[in-house]
């Protein structure tokens, strides 16, 4: 398991504002001080992290993102946050990342400028070993009209930045809003060539899980309440197995938000056994004080996976990245690692 930081890994489920490390947040605070904009007090930074023993649950978690949002409200700060986060993932052995973020209008930028800023920051970092792409997020607490305008923006930016903007996703508080209301926006994005991933089954709602699986997204996130032992039904579980939709698994996130009681009873075990394609991801590495290599290590320790099986998880994840043109080179990187370490 000492190999975890060294395995070339792919990250497919990371929310930008949830991924800000304390070091990045402090750097952003210094930037605001330098340009003379008042910002949050240091005390707020302590509330950003949600550990295992925290009394806050999944619904409460959505408040903490406001802390990060205050720190990414100018284009300069957002670009810095993007660059610093990419570099942190790279230092952790990640060779490809799909960052996702919800376009937000702030006193300093429009939603259009928000996407443009992240896309430009990614382009400016294209020389780094880590390859990056952007997935545009729709928050399910937003109105249908807002969702449609975000989808339109994603479509127009996909045309302008086909090398950067590859997908669209649905996230935000799963207890608010209905998936069906977002189908038209997601469908138009898909029709324009964007891949789709959906936060699915974070809370017990078998009917919505069925609607999502029937929509045939390219991937889903979490999938906590799909197996009958975890709040799903036999129908949702069979539908997922049959669909072979890859699932972005976020172990620590599910534990720390109390969606899952402990690592041992995480649904990863059932998914892995049933050959549902799984991808180990971090979700919000800043909020949950984790890293991608730590998630791999936890997965190995808890589910007794050998280094060869871990490397295979990384290798298989490559089949599900949205930038199809990057797959070959990344696979070669991982295969070289496998051969070099005789796994
Ligand atoms: P941002 O999109 O602002 O870069 O990242 C933070 C946002 O991602 C949150 O406001 C929330 O909408 C979404 N998000 C982050 N983590 C989770 C999660 O675990 N579940 C869901 N459903 N949404 C999340």
Interface predicted TM-score of the whole assembly (ipTM), two decimals: 0.99
Total domains present in the chain: 1
Task: Express each pLDDT in 287-299 by its tens digit.
Answer: 999 999 999 999 9
Over residues 152-157, the mean pLDDT reads 98
Q: For a substitution probing ligand 1, which of 11, 16, 18 has the most ligand atoms within 8 Å of its CB?
A: 18
- Percent share of the chain, pLDDT over 90: 92
- pLDDT-derived band of residue 55, with 50, 70 and 90 as boundaries? confident
Q: Is the torsion defined by CA of 161, 167, 170, 171 positive or negative?
A: negative
Task: Provide, rounded to the nearest whole percent, the portion of the chain with pLDDT above 70.
Answer: 99
Q: Is the CB of 252 under 6 A from ligand 1?
A: no
3 in a domain, yes or no?
no
pLDDT, one tens digit per residue, over 225-234 is 999 999 999 9
* Cα(247)–Cα(227) distance, integer angstroms: 13
- Is residue 2 a part of any domain in this protein? no
Contact assessment for residue 63 and residue 18, using Cβ atoms and an 8 Å cutoff: no
Q: How far is the CA of 220 from the centre of ligand 1 (A)?
A: 14
Range of the domain at 294: 9-340
Question: pLDDT, tens digit, for every residue of 174-206?
Answer: 999 999 999 999 999 999 999 999 999 999 999
Q: Which of 106, 172, 197, 199 to mutate to test ligand 1, by most ligand atoms within 8 A of the CB atom? A: 172
pTM to 2 decimal places: 0.98
Within a domain: residue 115?
Answer: yes
Map tokens 């999938």 to a residue. Answer: 223
From the alpha carbon of 172, which atom of ligand 1 is closest?
12
- Domain membership of residue 34 (yes or no) is yes
Residue 254 and residue 260 in contact, taking contact as beta carbons nearer than 8 Å: yes
Does 38 reside within a domain?
Answer: yes
**202 is an active site residue:** yes
Give the integer Cα–Cα distance in Å for 154 and 90. 26
- Does residue 255 lie within any of the structural domains? yes
> What CA–CA distance (Å, rounded) separates 186 from 305?
36
Whether the CB of 254 sits within 6 Å of ligand 1: no
Residue for token digits 């964007």? 194
Is 194:168 a contact under the CB 8 Å cutoff? yes
Looking at residue 183, which CATH number applies to its domain? Answer: 3.20.20.140
What rounded mean pLDDT belongs to the chain?
Answer: 96
Asked if residue 1 is part of any domain, the answer here is no
Residue 335 belongs to a domain: yes
236-250 b/e with 16+ CB inside 10 Å = b?
bbebbbeeebbbbbb
**pLDDT category of residue 268 using cuts at 50, 70 and 90:** very high
């Amino acid at each position: 398991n000492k190999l975890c930081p060294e395995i070339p890994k792919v990250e497919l489920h990371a929310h930008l504002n949830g991924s800000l490390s304390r070091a990045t947040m402090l750097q952003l605070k210094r930037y605001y001080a330098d340009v003379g904009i008042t910002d949050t007090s240091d005390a707020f930074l302590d509330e950003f992290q949600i550990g295992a023993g925290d009394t806050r649950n999944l619904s409460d978690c959505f408040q903490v993102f406001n802390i990060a949002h205050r720190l990414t409200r100018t284009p300069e700060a957002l670009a810095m946050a993007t660059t610093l986060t990419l570099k942190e993932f790279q230092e952790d052995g990640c060779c490809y990342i799909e960052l996702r973020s919800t376009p937000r209008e702030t006193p300093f930028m429009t939603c259009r400028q928000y996407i443009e800023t992240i896309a430009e920051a990614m382009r400016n970092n294209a020389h780094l070993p880590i390859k990056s792409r952007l997935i545009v997020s729709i928050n399910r607490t937003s109105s249908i009209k807002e969702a449609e305008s975000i989808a339109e923006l994603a479509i127009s930016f996909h045309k302008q930045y086909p090398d950067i903007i590859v997908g669209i996703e649905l996230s935000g508080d799963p207890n608010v809003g209905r998936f069906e209301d977002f189908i038209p926006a997601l469908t138009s994005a898909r029709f324009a060539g964007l891949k789709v991933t959906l936060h699915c089954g974070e809370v017990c709602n078998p009917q919505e899980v069925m609607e999502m699986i029937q929509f045939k997204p390219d991937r889903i996130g979490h999938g906590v309440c799909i197996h009958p032992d975890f709040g799903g039904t036999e129908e949702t579980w069979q539908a997922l197995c049959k669909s072979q939709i890859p699932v972005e698994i976020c172990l620590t996130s599910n534990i720390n938000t109390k969606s899952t009681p402990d690592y041992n009873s995480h649904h990863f075990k059932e998914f892995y056994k049933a050959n549902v394609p799984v991808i180990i991801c971090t979700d919000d590495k800043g909020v949950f004080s984790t890293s991608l290599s730590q998630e791999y290590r936890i997965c190995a320790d808890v589910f007794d996976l050998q280094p060869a099986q871990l490397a295979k998880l990384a290798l298989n994840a490559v089949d599900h990245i949205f930038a199809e043109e990057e797959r070959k080179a990344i696979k070669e990187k991982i295969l070289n690692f496998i051969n070099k370490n005789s796994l």
